[in-house]
Chains A and B, each alone.
Chain A
Amino acid sequence: MEFTLLWAALSAVVLAWVGLRLWPERVPEHGFDRLLGAAVAGLVVGRLVAMATQGINPLASPGDILIVRGGVHTGAAALAFALVLWWGNRKDPGALDAVAPAVLLGLAGWHGGCLWRGACLGTASDLPWAWALDGSTVTRHPVEIYAALALALGAWSVSRLGWRPFLRAGSALAIASLVRLITEPLRPSLTGGPLAWYLAGAVVGLTLIITRPRLTRDDASDLRP
């Protein structure tokens, strides 16, 4: 039911909030509000694009927008989230680096929210920690738990990085994309998943890490503590 998705979303919100409290350095005022606003914008845009690709006219069926389980376009949602977050912090680009670990922890909460949804399992596996659906003997990878743990570790790792411009934001984007890319083969899928979007996210993130500090070398010293 939709309520289980709400619990998963609440897990993401709570862990993002915890992330901002754990790593408060340079987090702007209203940082949590901006994060939440960007997440909602990403969800709405992702849902609208998914509807359009499914041939459903959002103007003719506006109620469908609320049926999030019907599908959210990963790439559009991520782009909208990043753009809204950037726009909200356009006068303080360093804020993106400040909230990056909390974003990863929030994503970990979303994936870990599979426990509320009963949707942690992926492809079949005989590994000792694999478990089965109710009434089944087929044990499976708890793939969403893998993703949640990897993202939480990523959040902690990013929080340990320095303050070069876009180093943390780029790292967070690369880590989130790579975690999804690597775990995707463990998820049963009709479409194979949005691998191209994950790959693009990883490339953009790594490009930010590699190039942005060089482009802003003269400004970088201003951002160091």
Chain B
Amino acid sequence: MLAGCAQGGSEGSALPDLPATTADEFSAHLAELDQPAVVNVWASWCLPCRSEAPLFAQAHGEYGDQIEFIGVDVQDSQAGAKAFLAEFELDFDHFFDSDRQVPNAYGGFGTPITLFFAPGGELVSLHNGVVDERTLALNIDELMRRGS
């Protein structure tokens, strides 16, 4: 259902709308995963999100076959979201969460937020604010070691 919702590199308007989700639906989606997951909560109006977006594109390129990368766009417009995804080529699945149900359910505040999940959807750690390369790499390493 979600595949191809964020194929970047072209005009944002050419992308399909992001699928809407609720906290329960998102939690159920995570529970079905047999890989660890990195969930980035972002919005197109969020300046810090722009700053960390290239890092997620890079991390997905390097670890995308071992870890599920998922974006959750909060309090945004579909047009803004698609332009953002096209600009940063974040070529993984993204959900649309207009009333912040997903981050609120896990206790995060502000935007951006990055959440790290073990296979099956257990929350391992949560990072409020911009994530730097070291923190992202460390938490990815932690997820992979827990999974092995």
Chain A residues within 8 Å of B, Cβ to Cβ: 1-2, 51, 54-56, 61, 63-64, 67, 69-71, 119, 121-124, 133-136, 138, 187-191
Of the A-B pairs whose beta carbons lie under 8 Å apart in the complex, a sample of 14, sorted by A's number, is A56-B50, A67-B48, A70-B130, A71-B51, A121-B138, A133-B142, A136-B142, A138-B142, A188-B137, A188-B141, A189-B133, A190-B58, A190-B59, A190-B136
Q: Are A69 and B137 also in contact (CB < 8 A) when A56-B51, A138-B142 are?
A: no
Q: Is the beta-carbon distance between B137 and A190 smaller than 8 angstroms?
A: yes
User: Which of chain A's residues have a CB closer than 8 A to the CB of B66?
Assistant: none
Please name 19 further chain A to chain B contacts, defined as beta carbons within 8 Å, in addition to the given A119-B134, A188-B137, sorted by A numbering. Answer: A61-B50, A64-B50, A67-B47, A69-B129, A69-B131, A69-B132, A70-B51, A71-B132, A121-B138, A123-B141, A124-B145, A133-B142, A136-B142, A136-B146, A138-B146, A188-B140, A189-B133, A190-B55, A190-B136
Q: Report the interface size for chain B: residues with CB under 8 A from the other chain.
A: 28
Answer yes or no: B125 CB below 8 A from chain A CBs. Answer: yes
Tell me the complex Cα distance, A51–B54, Å. 10
Chain B residues within 8 Å of A, Cβ to Cβ: 47-48, 50-52, 54-55, 58-59, 62, 124-125, 128-138, 140-142, 145-146
